[in-house]
Chains A and B, each alone.
Chain A
Amino acid sequence: MTAPTTRTSAALVDYVTGLGDDALVLSHRLAEWITRAPQLEEDIALANISLDLLGQARTLLGYAGELEGGGAGTGRSEDDLAYLRDEREFRNLQIVEIGNGDFAVTIARQLIFSAYQFELYSALLGSADETLAGLAAKAVKEVAYHRDHATQWTLRLGDGTELSHRRMQAALASTWPYIEEIFDPADVADALAALPGIAVDPATLRPAWAAYVRPVLAQATLTEPRPNRRTRGGRRGLHTERLGHLLATMQSLHRAHPGASW
């Protein structure tokens, strides 16, 4: 196998970092539900999903750091990447950083994103990059469960009471604008060009994603929104104002003690 060029390496670092940041930020949002969930069983379920995502984040960011160092061990650690980058260096999609809102907003976000992750990791099973393929093998089982959890709740909130239906419909309205960005290949075009067979073109995932999500909404008696706006830029470090506050909380203690071990 030919040694990776600088361009390939940089593209791969960027690509892996983006996937890792998605998992890291969403994990953090879900952990915010702990002690606040509607029922103890949901404190446990959401913590479970948060832990799965955190595990994915650690593997991905750890790998990104390794690649950075070119295998010489001089790259940044998972903690360096998580705690010492500023907002403009984060590569996550915007959907994962939005606030939890009420339980319906969280479930809407979960439905959209875990269904996407299922298609993503399914596709990454065939990646020529061993680490990504290996991670995908584990992660696809985890996100299958995440997607199922979101589906069960979408059905119950959509087809539950009038109040839950209204809230779930409103949650769809507020989260649907974030979908275009997920499947837009523009911001990962460089990675796709530089990493054939390694990175996955997100546009190719959309049909399967829609084929899953649409029937769920229909069964839940929900209407698919038609947003008149879309978000963009997360993969280029352009985020909503919420990410800054999230990172301020997440990073504060670590940054207060530079170089310390925990």
Chain B
Amino acid sequence: MYGNIDRIEPPDAPSDATSDAPADGDGGGMVAAARHAEFDRLIADDQRIEPRDWMPDGYRKTLIRQIAQHAHSEIIGMQPEGNWITRAPSLRRKAILIAKVQDEAGHGLYLYSAAETLGVDREDLLDQLHAGKQKYSSIFNYPTLSWADMGAIGWLVDGAAILNQVPLCRCSYGPYGRAMVRICKEESFHQRQGFEILHTLSRGTPAQHAMAQDAVNRFWWPSLMMFGPPDESSAHTVQSKAWGIKRFGNDELRQRFVDMCVDQARVLGLDLPDPDLRWNAERGHHDFGVIDWAELNRVIRGDGPCNADRMARRVGAHEDGAWVRDAADAYAAKHSRDTAAVA
């Protein structure tokens, strides 16, 4: 998952697991309680909740929002990297980048499919994205200003995403967890290719080395922000953990990420732009500087460098493509008997 996207906002009406109305009339109270107990037992037992199981409304809504925003992140994430496909400086790099961006589209589709098992339609989720009611990871609101950004995104952004995603493979909701297993399998090459790009640049010409360092300087802090606000100000962490949706806190994942990157940065021969970054022997971790949470808030609220561009591209593609989708529907309706057979 590309980080915790909307935790800065004050929560909506507090999600109350016991406030779900039972589906039945008479005896509804007892049936509801039994269903709830079964749900709780499955969660406590670290079992999976499947699409047709009973679940608290809050659980369902939290999952829909989280999975949808994860899906939106994948497809919006295609844009900053897509920006360099036509200028990729070698055919091999071009092929790898096209494959990576194509994977992201595929991941978006897996996730929309997982969200749909909860009873929503992908079109509704896209409407929410287009209307700004559902979000995507704020990291994608930063521009990709040089080829080296392809390396920085692969190394840092995908690296952070993997740290978030691996625990999600054990998410309590089956379809989401299974989508994550599939995504994690495919994602392993994404981070490697980013690292390799930076490694090559760092050891290349002075101009290439400078390009790589500049990219890391711009993407480091936004990558740390991907893990969301500090746990103490994260509204939904406690409930999400109780429901088996979230396995680790933001701070813990962020710390793991920093420790991992310090070593990798050394191998890359690149500096991390944090003068406060240093090993703390007592803690057994790296201390790091203060994150500018005001910036994260600004970007989440729409005041980032690329928010408008990302949405314009996404909404534009959707609207420009409406006539094509309509044509496919019209054809299907005309030929519904024929198209049922394998063409």
Contact = CB atoms under 8 A, between A and B. Distances in A.
A213 to B, nearest CB: 17
Interface stretch (A41-49, A113-121, A124-132, A185-193): A41-49
B91 A257 contact: no
B86 interface: yes
Contacts of B207: 257, 260
A176 B322 CA distance: 26
Interface in A214-255: 249-250, 252-254
A167 B322 CA distance: 13
Given A257-B89, A260-B204, A262-B200, A38 B98 contact: no
Nearest to B104: A43
B108 interface: yes
B91 A54 contact: yes
Q: How large is the interface on A (under 10, 10 to 19, 20 to 34, 35 or more residues)?
A: 35 or more
Contacts of B54: none
Interface in A1-59: 24, 28, 31-32, 34-44, 47-48, 50-51, 54-55, 57-58
Interface string B309-336: 0000110110011111111111100110
Contacts of A28: 86
B87 interface: yes
Interface string A98-111: 00001100000000
A74 interface: no
B94 A32 contact: no
B98 A253 contact: no
A163 B197 CA distance: 45
Interface residues of B, number: 50
Contacts of A43: 78, 102, 105
Contacts, number: 141
B102 A32 contact: no
B327 A156 contact: yes
Contacts of A47: 98-99, 101-102, 105
Nearest to B93: A262
A45 to B, nearest CB: 9
B98 A157 contact: no
Nearest to B343: A152
B257 interface: no
A156 to B, nearest CB: 4
Interface of B: 75, 78-79, 82, 85-95, 98-99, 101-102, 105-106, 108-109, 147, 197, 200-201, 204-205, 207-208, 313-314, 316-317, 320-331, 334-335, 343
24 contacts: A32-B86, A34-B82, A34-B102, A35-B314, A37-B321, A38-B325, A42-B321, A42-B324, A44-B109, A47-B105, A48-B102, A78-B91, A82-B91, A83-B89, A156-B328, A157-B324, A161-B330, A164-B323, A164-B324, A164-B326, A164-B327, A249-B87, A253-B89, A262-B89
